[in-house]
């Protein structure tokens, strides 16, 4: 337990976000626990985003440090840049197109004062006009009660090794974790990488109540719009299995290399599971005994998305 009051930096990335940016900036002004600074990296916007941000620097009651990239870096590299530039004790990530509830930073600050190393919250998934779509982000990614219980008990990595449930825009972490987190390697979504490292090495605080609107507008970098079963099946069948497993093995090997002696024991089992799936025969019929055997061993339930992953291995060439 600590009584220190954290200085929270907000790290925001902007890129051609003129239609939504002002609403998000206004929501930052309404925070009951003000940030110590807002660091914004504009990724070579071609619209009025930078002008909107310049205007905000004048009216904001807290320091705003604004940077403009001469050429486009992409979302992961741009967030990495913004994270490096923050000077607070805690870094809260911020998308340009969401809207935060006024108590978001206050709720985060309380958890950091209790000794948490990182914090994440749920979010209401909303449409273009911020009308709720009737479900939350955690519901969308099936981050259920049992998995949330595991996370609170220090077993969040067990959840993330099966599927990623943390959106970067809902995440904050102690700045002292920065050297462990960066750089973000190619092949990883920035938020999946940050959450995996943090879950393996730190104590998480979860806020069950949605603390922001997670806006869906068709151009989201990583959206949460629901897809039908047919769409999911088509996406799976469009994948090249060999390329997919090579990429997955490379990604998780990168993570193990970064974590070093802090690598959780189940990482070896995760990689063994992936190698097993990558070695399945080309013939779908011939795969059946090996898939059944891996199912009986619990590989699909512990290290993958269970029935969906089983179907993928049985059906996709």
Q: How many residues belong to the chain?
A: 317
Collapsing DSSP states into helix, strand and coil, what is residue 246?
helix
The DSSP bridge partners found for residue 174 are 90
Collapsing DSSP states into helix, strand and coil, what is residue 51?
helix
List % helix, strand, coil for the chain (3-state, nearest 5). 50, 15, 35
Write out the chain's pLDDT in tens, 317 residues.
Answer: 455 789 999 999 999 999 999 999 999 999 999 999 999 999 999 999 999 999 999 999 999 999 999 999 999 999 999 999 999 999 999 999 999 999 999 999 999 999 999 999 999 999 999 999 999 999 999 999 999 999 999 999 999 999 999 999 999 999 999 999 999 999 999 999 999 999 999 999 999 999 999 999 765 444 555 555 445 556 666 778 899 999 999 999 999 999 999 999 999 999 999 999 999 999 999 999 999 999 999 999 999 988 889 998 998 87
Q: What is the pTM of this model?
A: 0.92
- What pLDDT score was predicted for residue 306? 85
Under 8 Å between Cβ of 158 and 200: no
Domains and CATH numbers, the chain: 8-215 (3.90.550.10), 229-315 (no CATH)
Q: Give the CA angle between residues 8, 11, 14 to the nearest 5°.
A: 150
Distance of CA 83 to the CA centre of its chain: 14
Residue 258 CB-half CA count within 13 A: 23
Closest to 48 in 3D by CA, of 80, 18, 5, 89? 18
Distances (CA, A) of 266 to 273, 277, 315: 11, 17, 27
Under 8 Å between Cβ of 274 and 248: yes
Q: How far apart are CA 44 and CA 184, in angstroms?
A: 20
- What pLDDT score was predicted for residue 234? 62
In sequence order, which residues have a C-beta less than 8 Å from that of residue 120 and are 6 or more positions away? 166, 170, 171, 172, 195, 204, 205, 206, 207
- What pLDDT score was predicted for residue 225? 54
């Amino acid at each position: 337990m600590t009584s220190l009051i954290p200085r929270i930096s907000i790290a925001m990335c902007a890129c051609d976000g003129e239609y939504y940016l002002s609403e998000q900036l206004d929501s930052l002004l309404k925070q009951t626990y003000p940030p110590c600074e807002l660091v914004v990296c504009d990724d070579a916007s071609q619209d009025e985003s930078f002008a909107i941000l310049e205007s905000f620097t004048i009216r904001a009651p807290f320091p705003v440090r604004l940077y403009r990239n001469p050429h486009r870096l992409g979302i992961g590299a741009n967030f990495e840049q913004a994270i490096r530039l923050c000077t607070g004790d805690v870094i809260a990530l911020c998308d340009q197109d969401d809207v935060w509830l006024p108590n978001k930073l206050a709720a985060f600050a309380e958890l950091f004062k209790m000794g948490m190393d990182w914090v994440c919250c749920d979010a209401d998934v909303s449409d273009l006009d911020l009308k709720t779509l009737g479900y939350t982000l955690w519901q969308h990614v099936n981050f259920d009660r049992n998995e949330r219980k595991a996370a609170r008990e220090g077993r969040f990595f067990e959840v993330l090794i099966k599927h990623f449930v943390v959106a970067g825009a809902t995440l904050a972490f102690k700045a002292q974790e920065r050297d462990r987190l960066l750089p973000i390697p190619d092949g990883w979504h920035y938020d999946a990488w940050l959450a995996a490292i943090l879950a393996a090495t730190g104590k998480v605080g979860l806020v069950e109540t949605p603390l922001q609107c997670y806006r869906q507008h068709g151009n989201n970098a990583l959206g949460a719009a629901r897809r039908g079963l047919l769409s999911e099946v088509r996406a799976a069948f469009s994948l090249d299995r060999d390329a997919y497993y090579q990429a997955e093995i490379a990604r998780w090997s990168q993570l193990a290399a970064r974590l070093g002696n802090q690598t959780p024991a189940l990482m070896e089992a995760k990689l063994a599971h992936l190698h097993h799936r990558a070695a399945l025969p080309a013939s779908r019929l011939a795969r059946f005994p090996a898939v059944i055997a891996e199912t009986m061993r619990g590989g699909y339930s512990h290290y993958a998305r269970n029935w969906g992953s089983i179907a993928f291995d049985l059906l996709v060439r």
